Amino acid sequence: MTQAELFVRDRRGDWRPPDALKPTPFAQWPVRLVPLVKWVFGYPGYLLPWALLYIALGALTWRYLTPELTQMKTLEVGWITFILARNLAIVVLVTSAWHGWLYVQRSQGTDYKFNDRWLATDNPTFLFNNQLHDNLFWTLLSGVPVWTAYEVLMLWAFANGYLPSVDWGAHPIYCALLLLATPLWQELHFYLVHRLIHWRPLYQTVHYLHHKNMNPGPWSGLAMHPIEHVLYFSGVLIYCIVPAHPLHIVFLLQVTALVPAQGHAGFQHLKFGSRLLVPASDYFHYLHHRFVECNYGAERVPLDRWFGTFHDGTKESQERLKKRFLAGRRGP
């Protein structure tokens, strides 16, 4: 395929990756061990390039940027403010890196961008008539405080022995496997919450705010209604029943906060030079923003395939989902 053929767009300016969305080995049944292992440890795969970076960031955050557990036994303004400031700094640095490279410098133009439009700057749909300013408002004034509130309360509960705990030194294999499984749990929880907030009353009062971003950018990822933030970050409550280490709490909340910037970046690849391509955004979730009633979860946890809401960007998928939707409107 030539460069010209690769970047052909339709009349709306939309671009579809040439390779069809395929289920990961994790999603195939029966599971085949060799392809699964290659996917977990290969490139691109489950761990590379992004999961290991998020794990490393979570470990560094826990080791160097989190107060001692003994200090967190009491709820005090000092350490709570420190965690809030730390979380603000992390989300600003990470999301700004995506936004700066792709939308400020426009370092690769619209190459591998799912549509040819940039963020809205004169649209009354958004606060301040500006998509970026709207997204910043909801992310920084609602998303980060809700993330911080969950983290503070969970670490306080852990420090006081209210949560089931496990010692990393005594159970390293369990702790490592739980850490590696964290992104899968986050995606499963996201699917469940996402289906809930697409229930019409919640969609019209809460989730509509996120879907104003039909053409999302990195800052759109956490641009949500405060009620949605409360539901979205609630996946960490799994550690009220599953024994864990504080690192698991910090890592799960951090992944939940940072992955949306990547998932909403709007580009399939980061392009460095003429040859080096790094997987970036998620065409699967971009289609959700475009068509709304499809692709509620993530492709690694194939619930949309199993429950008939999968869309791969083709006309066939669109017609199938349209028929399903109309059949649901008519009822039995």
- Rounded to the nearest 10 degrees, how much is the dihedral formed by the CA atoms of 66, 68, 70, 72? -20
pLDDT digits (tens, 9 = 90+) for 228-257: 999 999 999 999 999 999 999 999 999 999
State the Cα–Cα distance between residues 153 and 75, nearest whole angstrom.
9
State the Cα–Cα distance between residues 248 and 234, nearest whole angstrom.
14
pLDDT digits (tens, 9 = 90+) for 170-206: 999 999 999 999 999 999 999 999 999 999 999 999 9
Q: Which of 242, 274, 219 is nearest to 97 (CA)?
A: 219
Which pTM value belongs to this model?
0.94
- Owner of token pair 């499984």: 181
At residue 331, the pLDDT reads 47
Over residues 292-301, mean pLDDT? 91
Q: Does the pLDDT at position 332 exceed 50?
A: no
Q: How confident is the model at residue 326 (pLDDT cuts 50, 70, 90)?
A: low
E-only strand ranges, the chain:
269-272, 276-279
State the Cα–Cα distance between residues 131 and 123, nearest whole angstrom.
8
Q: Does the pLDDT at position 330 exceed 60?
A: no
Where along the chain do its domains lie? 49-289
What is the percent of the chain with per-residue pLDDT over 90, rounded to a whole number? 79
At residue 2, the pLDDT reads 54
Per the CB < 8 A criterion, the answer to whether 182 and 250 are in contact is no
Q: Does the pLDDT at position 324 exceed 90?
A: no
Q: Does the pLDDT at position 329 exceed 70?
A: no
Q: How confident is the model at residue 28 (pLDDT cuts 50, 70, 90)?
A: confident
Over residues 96-100, mean pLDDT? 98
H-helix segments, 45-167: 50-64, 77-99, 131-138, 144-159
Q: How confident is the model at residue 54 (pLDDT cuts 50, 70, 90)?
A: very high
